[in-house]
Amino acid sequence: EAKRQAYIPLVAGSTSRLLASLSTAPLELVRTRQASAIGNGEKVVPGMMEEFRLLLRSNGFSSLFTGLAPTLWRDVPFSAIYWLFLEKFRNDLSNSNSLGTWGGRYYKDQGIQIPPSIEVIHSFISGAGAGAIAAFG
């Protein structure tokens, strides 16, 4: 059961990043093309919709997803690892007996709700730890 539960944030994180990347890829491409044209002193297509039309007319629908593969190779594993460790760290902190008043178990054992300040600290530590592991791991 615990092993199956560990896969939930892994699958959810990677799936959500995949869908987010697919939906924003055309916008990122247009933004990058326009910024590059401005930076190189080239003629800029006026407006995003005109840039979309130009790409579709000249190269077809698939051209809107140019450069998507490297983005997916970078972002999907990062998100999967990030969400896996974020949930693990949150669970570990909220069930820890060894942290005294900093741990969630202290409050649960007394039948008291965990103070918001402790939950914020747990979220910050969990996010920072998960981000570090996903970025450097």
pLDDT digits (tens, 9 = 90+) for 76-125: 999 999 999 999 999 899 888 888 888 888 888 889 898 999 999 999 99
Distances, alpha carbon 89 to alpha carbons 22, 64, 118, 133, in Å: 29, 38, 14, 12
The radius of gyration of the chain from alpha carbons, rounded to an integer in Å, stands at 22
pLDDT at 37 over 70: yes
Task: Give the pLDDT band (50/70/90) at residue 1.
Answer: low
Where on the phi/psi map is residue 100: left (φ > 0), alpha (ψ -120 to 50), or beta? left
Where on the phi/psi map is residue 47: left (φ > 0), alpha (ψ -120 to 50), or beta? left
User: How high is the mean pLDDT of the chain?
Assistant: 90
Structure tokens at 132: 């570090």
Specify the amino acid at residue 108.
K
Place of tokens 């760290």: 89
Place of tokens 């959810």: 12
pLDDT the model gives residue 82: 96
Give me the DSSP letters along 15-45.
HHHHHHHHHHHHHHHHHHHHHHHHHTTPPPP
